[in-house]
Amino acid sequence: MTGLVLQDVHVRFGHGAGAFHAVRGVSLTVADGEVTGLVGESGSGKSTLARAVVGLVEPSDGRILADSVDLVRARGDAARLRRRIQMIFQDPSACLDPRMSIGDSIAEAIRAAARREKTGAPSRRQCRDEVARLLQTVQIDPARADAAPATLSGGQRQRVAIARALAARPAVLLADEITSALDVSVQGAVLNLLLALQRELGLTMLFVSHNLAVVRYVCDRIAVMRAGEIVESGAALDVIDRPQHDYTRDLIAAIPRLGETMFE
């Protein structure tokens, strides 16, 4: 339903002599319903690019299109569309208010989505039912809706963050290092859940990770970023098995035991 097209996107931080050019002319297409992995060394601009797509930083140049609508410049439709692009972060606490129960956090997102879609405010009961459905979707017992985020494990909190993102009925998900802060023992479960949901809901996804083993497991395509630029992109298996760029080869070489990971 909604692919993502980036055309010559630039992001500069600051002005004048102190300005830093973090994203330098990135063009990238994430096809409708596909998962594109964005990899690259620390500081290469992956998060900045994802944040530009979701509207957390303003590109200094270029176009970001979803459904052929320019998200950067257009108003109205674009503002609505942008809310259908949801981001999940490395630290789930970033989107969960510690003073709110997990159910209330999800309900807040449900009500925001209803306002956006102008479908009328859901009743308390509708909200409660939808919260229960979303918690079930991410494999958390709906009976825990009243729990505070602090009482959950890191993996459970990340699943609540996914439920909250899904409450907005997104067409596009941006996942930025969403398992990096989790214990290895639960990383696989969170990734499998995300992938199952992506397939079931036909979501378009940009999956940011420095872990190429994970990216190979999750993604249809891979784009390799270095110093603000995409240096290589293609089908995931091609990029991993036949990297064209030395930088990609170095990234692959940096993964210990690629091919013997828990995802095999």
Return residues touching Mg ion (CB under 5 A): 47
Choice between 65 and 213, CB closer to Mg ion: 213
Choice between 20 and 117, CB closer to ligand ATP: 20
Residue 220 to residue 206: CA distance in whole angstroms: 10
Asked if 109 and 167 touch (Cβ cutoff 8 Å), the reply is yes
User: Any contact of residue 243 with ligand ATP (CB under 6 A)?
Assistant: no
Q: Residues 169 to 228: which contact ligand ATP by CB under 6 A?
A: 210
Asked if 20 and 12 touch (Cβ cutoff 8 Å), the reply is yes
Q: Which of ligand ATP, Mg ion, none does 45 bind, CB closer than 5 to 8 A by kind?
A: ligand ATP
Q: Which of Mg ion, ligand ATP, none does 13 bind, CB closer than 5 to 8 A by kind?
A: ligand ATP
Residue 188 to residue 131: CA distance in whole angstroms: 24
Residue 113 to residue 106: CA distance in whole angstroms: 11
Closest contact distance (angstroms) between CB of 191 and ligand ATP is 18
Other CB atoms within 10 A of residue 51 CB: 20
Token pair belonging to 94: 């970033």
Residues in the chain: 264
Residue of this chain nearest to Mg ion (CB atom): 47
Choice between 48 and 156, CB closer to ligand ATP: 48
Residue 199 to residue 109: CA distance in whole angstroms: 22
Candidate ranges 43-51, 67-75, 154-162, 197-205; the one touching ligand ATP (CB under 6 A): 43-51
Choice between 27 and 180, CB closer to Mg ion: 180
User: Any contact of residue 22 with ligand ATP (CB under 6 A)?
Assistant: yes
**225 closest CA partner among 242, 210, 241:** 210
Candidate ranges 41-49, 105-113, 164-172, 231-239; the one touching ligand ATP (CB under 6 A): 41-49
Q: Which of Mg ion, ligand ATP, none does 119 bind, CB closer than 5 to 8 A by kind?
A: none
User: Any contact of residue 44 with ligand ATP (CB under 6 A)?
Assistant: yes
Residue 251 to residue 175: CA distance in whole angstroms: 20
Q: Which of ligand ATP, Mg ion, none does 211 bind, CB closer than 5 to 8 A by kind?
A: none
**109 closest CA partner among 149, 168, 54, 158:** 168
R_g over Cα of the chain: 19
Q: Which residues form the interface with ligand ATP (CB under 6 A)? A: 13, 20, 22, 40, 42-48, 210
